[in-house]
Structure 1
Amino acid sequence: MAYNLDYVRITDVKILIGGWTISDWGVDQLKISILNEKMEAAEDVKLARNDRKDLVEAGLVEEENSKCGFTIEFPYEEEKIYYLSIADKKKRKRIELKPEVIRRNNKVEARRGFAKQLVKCINKKNIEKGIKHIREHGVKGLKEYIVSRVNASAMPYGEWFELNKPTKKELEKQKKDKFEFEPKISIIVPTYKTPINFLREMIDSVIDQTYSNWELCIADGSEGDSAVEAELEKYAKQDDRIKYTLLEKNEGISGNTNAALKLATGEYVGLFDHDDILAPNALYEVVKALQEKEYDILYTDEDKITGDGKEHNDPNFKPDFSMDLFCSHNYITHFFVVKTNIIKKIGGFRPEYDGSQDYDLMFRCIESADSIKHIPMILYHWRIHMNSVAGDPASKMYAYDAGKRAIEDHFKRIGVKAKVEHTGLWGMYHVIYETPGNPLVSIIIPNKDHTDDLDKCVKSIINKSKYKNIEFIIIENNSTEDKTFAYYEKLQKEYENVKVVKWEEGFNYSAINNYGVSFAKGEYLLFLNNDTEMITPTAINELLGCCMREDVGVVGAKLLYSDDTVQHAGVVVGFGGYAGHVNMGIRRDDYGYMVRAQISCNYSAVTAACMITKKELFEQVGGFDEQFVVACNDVDYCLKVRETGKWVVFNAFSEWYHYESKSRGYEDTPEKLKRFEGEVAKFQKKWPEILEKGDPFYNPNFPIDKAPFTLG
């Protein structure tokens, strides 16, 4: 028996459930019911069975079991517990339904992971569909296809927001909560001719905070705007936690904010714009996080609101701290909280960076910080209106030049040689690292026959690459065609930097590559599949320059199918109980979620189909783990590198075609699929913590059993 809950939602009067379930006994033998606390049938339950053609098309169920879907609705009482019961002739599953939990999470996680459901559903009758898709798109492609088909309808953000915001009851409880560490948080706001309705909503959102140890520090540069002055005076008289100063003249965004900073007496400072809104639990969640550790910096997720404040849209569900993403654009923005001693030590805001003054300040704060905490909750609402950057990025083009200078200055301060270019996307930057000393790069390519593919791969690099200090280590792996060996001989005669070494044993991707490394003379190792082709002439420069940073351990490339759709743009751990590619299948020029398919950023892993790493580091962590014969080896290696404290980087500016698994073939037989499942089981045993806690570079508001970057 297998099941999946597509949604569990709650209204003021009803609980609504939708999903599907199958059994070896047939769907007609399944009994679905709602039970009360006494394990008796609940009253007034409406149950409907429905057709799920999407599951048939995905190959998860046979045609005769297509009526496996169900929808349920029933009235509830707030304090009571209910159970969804699913039973066949042999098994029964009961899923607990607590109204309070449903309201907070808007879902009940199925007790079996998606991967287990998939394994349960693969059988002799539908394996042919799966094999066909594997042949065309690979195993990872099959997983992505199934996830996307089964979860094609993502929840709209507006609906998600309403279901996940704290209830009045929760907010009242927060007001009564006491923490061991209750720092004062100084919220600093520069105002300048702020529309009165926006000003009131901004101040009211601070007054409405469920955590009370705050002060609001406002510096007004409106130059005699009597309406603004009167409003500030009124609020300051009503609440002594509100401070303000009237500046003699407008000193610009940095000068005005520094004036507000001078009023701050709290242990922490929070940056707040004069026309935005804080969620009522924003400070509560910040202080709650500080009970774990007195972090130097904290930041939250955010969304945008319309001018009238009625609609929430365009959420930014951020990863945990990602240095390379931050160097590509200011993804942190709001809500940013930092220790007061840090912001004052670095000298506050610098007027020469007006427009991107926050970006510049954050770089300098980060350089002085030892700990950074991401709170994955929408706690800040950035208002969109005619004069805001949120509504029209082009309205402040000067800001992006200031942002470019902020990044350049950061690298100067830390001693990294790099130049920064605009990407053509507002506020997105391309950092180009120098390659001092031009070290030797050893390109490791396993190969079995398929000399046309290998030739295309090698020649594309030789003919296109702007980086020339390279050597090729081609690992001959049990080829059977005479022309293959003739090609090897010809290639080595033609190019002095090509060396073919022979692997005598059976196929083991990890062992073969480890063997190849033993012949490498380079300081850097570029692992490359034989079915790849260089697109951008600076592809190796991009990978190497980034990898030469002291804090970087692995860099992966952007890989495209032959039709210019994305095959690889980063790997998230957790999909299918193992890992999966994100932004897969989008067009080459598509942005991906939060533009992450077009810029450099950090992930927990990248694919070794095109991956560079330091040779010294490779040897330090023991190379590829040879228990992973075919799958999981690259993700495992990246996680080992992450344990050393170094970044894994996806570089979108290093582009290659990847024709995928031509030489070895696909995992397209029941035997190969069984081996793949076995390696996944080994991976799960080796890395239980990240699978349990979640990938730090994938926001936990995105369910791991849904299509990437979709809400459930």
Structure 2
Amino acid sequence: MSNFLKRAVQRLLIQKRHRSYEERIARQAVPYGVWLESLLEGERAETAEWKREAEAAGRAHLSVTVMLPQMFCECASDRDLRDKQGDLWLVTPEESALTEGAQWEVIRYFEEHPACGIAYGDEEDYYKPDWSPDLLQSFFYFGNIFAVRKELVERIGENAGEEWGLSEKARLYDLVLRCVDEVGWSGHIEKVLFACGGGDSVREREWNPAAGLGKDWGMEPEFDEIKRGHLYSDMEIPVEKERQELVSVIIPSKDNPAVLSNCIHSLREITAYQNIEIIVIDNGSNDKNKNRILQMRDQMREEYSFRYLYRPMAFNFSAMCNIGAGEARGNYLLFLNDDMEIVREDWLSVMVGKAAKSCVGAVGAKLLYPDSDKIQHLGITNIHLGPAHKLQFSSDKKEYYHGINRRAVNVSAVTGACLLVRREVFEQIGGFDERFAVAFNDVELCFHLLREGYQNVCCNQTFLYHHESMSRGFDAGEEKVARLHRERDLLYAAYPEMWNRDPYYSRKLVMDILDRGYEPACRFEEERMSERAEVISLEGGLDAVWYNECLYMGLEFTGDETAWRTGRSGGGDYYIQGWSYAVNVDNSRYEKSLLLKPVSLQERQGENGERLWKIPYRECWRPDFRENLPYIDHPALCGVSVWIRRDALPKGEYLIGYLWEDACSRQKLCGFSAETLRVE
């Protein structure tokens, strides 16, 4: 065949692959409106079934009155008007935007939760967290839909809502805060009760968190005064050093004298909060670096100096922090990585104002990558795949999902790179769990605090720079990945209630992939995207020329069905989820397979003659990669989500890789990750 004819045939093959690529995306991608319609239908059916069962049982129901916010404020201060209303008051700025069955869902919730006095519901484009007192101090996140018992409003007093000079929104905000003061918490009705899509049919709607009858409000200065003096109000921090409580700053460090110096100098020179002591815990710097640290300490002015604890030991972040805490004198303990850089003077005052509250456990802050606006940490979100950093690498110049990167928010956990906690709380839970030497020690501490009834907070209205992982390097390589998995398994064995659950992150948002944005669950759902795949013995091994550094890969989950469902291995088929893409090639041209290679030394000595297994799979739609990799050619179908039978492979541990075979030429690409699958 002539070269001209070969090129012509190849062009036709490439065009066919491009058409197939777009068709597969169209089949897999679920538009938001279609997903929302299905969600609303399911919620309506569930409510209707409850209503039928209640009527069949002859149960009497609470009465409900739908009212505007203005009417709510008037009823709160007018007994005669109040007495004419129902048992429950459903407050919304637009009754026509209530979803079908919303009133019955409110009745159901309050009847099933007799101790609840006030509750808010979800909205079409705002899937809210569970009760978040610090978020309510940040802005009025109850939004366009909440309900309250009439008897609760009666209990907060005749003068409620009559404060002179307050705007309607301020009166509304003040009344809700008073209701919360009275009962101590708010319920969350995890159903969409308010939809403001206008005249468009539900199927035609697009995901738009900024939609609604009005923008978020309550964060403006005009509301500062009404937020003071309530049950969950932030504590006022005195400016004078002699009136400030002592904060002990505990800095684990080893062989990083220059980085440590930058951390301490920026801490002392920039921080407005002055009543601090600094304790450096060194787990074994070499003699040269140890002497440099001692020299730095001795040359500092007395008010800049620090205590230096030299304790040679294997790296164990938890043990180092506990040693530092044992030497600390302050009522507050701030655990700070040595690669942190202070850039704002208010950061510690803001954090102490949160940590001083009796309901608060751990407090963190927004962390940015150095000399940039790129986000590193806004709090830790506990998704199906484990603890994750949402919005990582996103620009902080933009405001995301109802201002989550601009406000103090309640979270499941904060990073130990900058974590503040009251000493009494830290000692109550026994400090850091030293079984978590490297990873998830901060998450374990925060999960423990949640279990004890505390709220964890991330102060995203201020920030620090974090020169991430300079303290110990990035987790990479088979040994480190295996350690990471062991500590993650240990985490969920200790806290099974936290597997695939985060009270501050709605299950209507994507949970099954590491999507860094706040997107609806229709982006990727394992039950919809996964497939059953066959394992094929790959004869002849892999040719060395197939290995290519242009192929990038990752595994998000490897384990059995019980581990996927509960967080603890125990049985069922095996599930593998991940992704792969290649640079400088057209990704749509390739047929893709997983590779499984035995980890045993004998079988890893050479590639040729080594028994390998191949798992061809249908590529999965991953909109997150298409959005985040604009420079990659056709990256949208880079995902893999496969189940394989438990008896499909011999027992053992397998290294997982990828094989790409060009459907338009004879080219092949392959590579292996550091992830493994253990078959038992």
Which amino acid counterpart does residue 710 of structure 1 have in structure 2? Answer: E
Report the 3-state secondary structure (helix = DSSP H, G, I; strand = E; otherwise coil) of the residue aligned with 1:166. Answer: helix
Report the 3-state secondary structure (helix = DSSP H, G, I; strand = E; otherwise coil) of the residue aligned with 1:412. Answer: coil
CA displacement at 1:459 relative to structure 2: 0.8
CA distance in 2 between partners of 1:183 and 1:358 (Å): 27
**Which residue, out of 173, 181, 194, partners 1:367?**
181
Report the 3-state secondary structure (helix = DSSP H, G, I; strand = E; otherwise coil) of the residue aligned with 1:439. Answer: coil
User: Is residue 65–residue 85 contact of structure 2 (8 Å, CA) maintained in 1?
Assistant: no
2:458 counterpart residue number: 650
2:498 counterpart residue number: 690
Q: Does 1:503 align with 2:323?
A: no
User: Is residue 234–residue 354 contact of structure 2 (8 Å, CA) maintained in 1?
Assistant: no
1:262 counterpart residue number: 82
Q: Does 1:164 align with 2:39?
A: yes
**Which residue, out of 633, 654, 657, partners 2:441?**
633
CA displacement at 1:333 relative to structure 2: 2.4
**Which residue, out of 83, 106, 113, partners 1:293?**
113
Structure 2 residues without counterparts, runs of 5 or longer: 1-15, 200-210, 523-680
CA distance in 2 between partners of 1:169 and 1:492 (Å): 72
CA displacement at 1:412 relative to structure 2: 2.1
Report the 3-state secondary structure (helix = DSSP H, G, I; strand = E; otherwise coil) of the residue aligned with 2:314. Answer: coil
Shift in CA distance, 177/406, structure 1 to aligned 2, threshold 3 Å: farther
Report the 3-state secondary structure (helix = DSSP H, G, I; strand = E; otherwise coil) of the residue aligned with 1:177. Answer: helix
1:329 counterpart residue number: 139
CA distance in 1 between partners of 2:407 and 2:234 (Å): 19
**Which residue, out of 57, 61, 83, partners 1:183?**
61
CA displacement at 1:177 relative to structure 2: 3.1
Q: Does 1:342 align with 2:152?
A: yes
User: Is residue 232–residue 357 contact of structure 2 (8 Å, CA) maintained in 1?
Assistant: no
Report the 3-state secondary structure (helix = DSSP H, G, I; strand = E; otherwise coil) of the residue aligned with 1:316. Answer: coil
CA displacement at 1:154 relative to structure 2: 7.8
CA distance in 2 between partners of 1:329 and 1:154 (Å): 34
Shift in CA distance, 266/282, structure 1 to aligned 2, threshold 3 Å: same
**Which residue, out of 325, 328, 344, partners 1:520?**
328
Which amino acid counterpart does residue 376 of structure 2 have in structure 1? Answer: Q
Which amino acid counterpart does residue 134 of structure 2 have in structure 1? Answer: D
Superposition pairs of residues 439-450 of structure 1, within 5 angstroms? 439-450=245-256
CA displacement at 1:271 relative to structure 2: 1.3
Report the 3-state secondary structure (helix = DSSP H, G, I; strand = E; otherwise coil) of the residue aligned with 2:61. Answer: coil
- Greater Cα shift, 409-418 or 498-507: 409-418
1:378 counterpart residue number: 192
2:528 counterpart residue number: none
- Greater Cα shift, 404-413 or 350-359: 404-413
Deviations along 1:656-710, whole A, 9 cap, x unmatched?
A: 1111111311212211111111101101111111215x11101111131132422
Which amino acid counterpart does residue 511 of structure 2 have in structure 1? Answer: I
Structure 1 residues without counterparts, runs of 5 or longer: 1-49, 53-65, 74-152, 193-218, 220-252, 304-314, 420-431
2:104 counterpart residue number: 284
Report the 3-state secondary structure (helix = DSSP H, G, I; strand = E; otherwise coil) of the residue aligned with 1:178. Answer: helix
CA displacement at 1:266 relative to structure 2: 2.9
**Which residue, out of 573, 594, 600, partners 2:382?**
573
Which amino acid counterpart does residue 359 of structure 1 have in structure 2? Answer: Y
Report the 3-state secondary structure (helix = DSSP H, G, I; strand = E; otherwise coil) of the residue aligned with 1:486. Answer: helix
Deviations along 1:196-248, whole A, 9 cap, x unmatched?
A: xxxxxxxxxxxxxxxxxxxxxxx7xxxxxxxxxxxxxxxxxxxxxxxxxxxxx
CA displacement at 1:434 relative to structure 2: 7.4
Which amino acid counterpart does residue 695 of structure 1 have in structure 2? Answer: D
CA displacement at 1:569 relative to structure 2: 0.3
Q: TM-score, normalised by structure 1?
A: 0.62
Deviations along 1:102-122, whole A, 9 cap, x unmatched?
A: xxxxxxxxxxxxxxxxxxxxx
CA displacement at 1:637 relative to structure 2: 0.3
Superposition pairs of residues 15-54 of structure 1, within 5 angstroms? none
CA distance in 2 between partners of 1:515 and 1:681 (Å): 26
Which amino acid counterpart does residue 166 of structure 1 have in structure 2? Answer: E
Which amino acid counterpart does residue 177 of structure 1 have in structure 2? Answer: E
CA displacement at 1:187 relative to structure 2: 1.6
**Which residue, out of 342, 354, 357, partners 2:167?**
354
CA distance in 1 between partners of 2:401 and 2:244 (Å): 34
CA displacement at 1:606 relative to structure 2: 0.4
Which amino acid counterpart does residue 506 of structure 1 have in structure 2? Answer: A
CA distance in 2 between partners of 1:485 and 1:164 (Å): 63
1:590 counterpart residue number: 398
Report the 3-state secondary structure (helix = DSSP H, G, I; strand = E; otherwise coil) of the residue aligned with 2:54. Answer: coil
1:564 counterpart residue number: 373
User: Is residue 593–residue 709 contact of structure 1 (8 Å, CA) maintained in 2?
Assistant: yes
CA displacement at 1:442 relative to structure 2: 0.9
CA displacement at 1:493 relative to structure 2: 4.2
Deviations along 1:267-316, whole A, 9 cap, x unmatched?
A: 3222133554211121222233335421211210113xxxxxxxxxxx11
CA displacement at 1:588 relative to structure 2: 2.1
CA distance in 2 between partners of 1:539 and 1:375 (Å): 34
Could you say what the CA RMSD is over the residues aligned between the two structures, in angstroms? 3.4
CA distance in 2 between partners of 1:641 and 1:654 (Å): 23
Which amino acid counterpart does residue 621 of structure 1 have in structure 2? Answer: I
1:532 counterpart residue number: 340
Which amino acid counterpart does residue 176 of structure 1 have in structure 2? Answer: R
Shift in CA distance, 379/498, structure 1 to aligned 2, threshold 3 Å: same
Report the 3-state secondary structure (helix = DSSP H, G, I; strand = E; otherwise coil) of the residue aligned with 2:263. Answer: helix
Shift in CA distance, 271/321, structure 1 to aligned 2, threshold 3 Å: same
2:637 counterpart residue number: none
Q: TM-score, normalised by structure 2?
A: 0.64
**Which residue, out of 225, 228, 252, partners 1:411?**
228
Q: Does 1:551 align with 2:429?
A: no
CA displacement at 1:190 relative to structure 2: 4.7
Shift in CA distance, 456/182, structure 1 to aligned 2, threshold 3 Å: farther
Which amino acid counterpart does residue 101 of structure 2 have in structure 1? Answer: N
CA displacement at 1:489 relative to structure 2: 3.0
CA distance in 2 between partners of 1:279 and 1:256 (Å): 24
Equivalences, count: 479
Shift in CA distance, 629/322, structure 1 to aligned 2, threshold 3 Å: same
CA distance in 1 between partners of 2:105 and 2:225 (Å): 33
Report the 3-state secondary structure (helix = DSSP H, G, I; strand = E; otherwise coil) of the residue aligned with 1:518. Answer: helix
Q: Does 1:490 align with 2:490?
A: no
Deviations along 1:489-547, whole A, 9 cap, x unmatched?
A: 33244243401101222111111111111111111111011111011111111111221
CA distance in 2 between partners of 1:539 and 1:338 (Å): 36
Shift in CA distance, 262/699, structure 1 to aligned 2, threshold 3 Å: same
CA distance in 1 between partners of 2:395 and 2:411 (Å): 20
Which amino acid counterpart does residue 377 of structure 2 have in structure 1? Answer: H
CA displacement at 1:632 relative to structure 2: 0.8
Shift in CA distance, 418/472, structure 1 to aligned 2, threshold 3 Å: closer
Aligned-residue identity in percent: 28
Report the 3-state secondary structure (helix = DSSP H, G, I; strand = E; otherwise coil) of the residue aligned with 1:666. Answer: coil
2:415 counterpart residue number: 607
- Greater Cα shift, 272-281 or 452-461: 272-281
Q: Does 1:472 align with 2:282?
A: no
User: Is residue 334–residue 419 contact of structure 2 (8 Å, CA) maintained in 1?
Assistant: yes
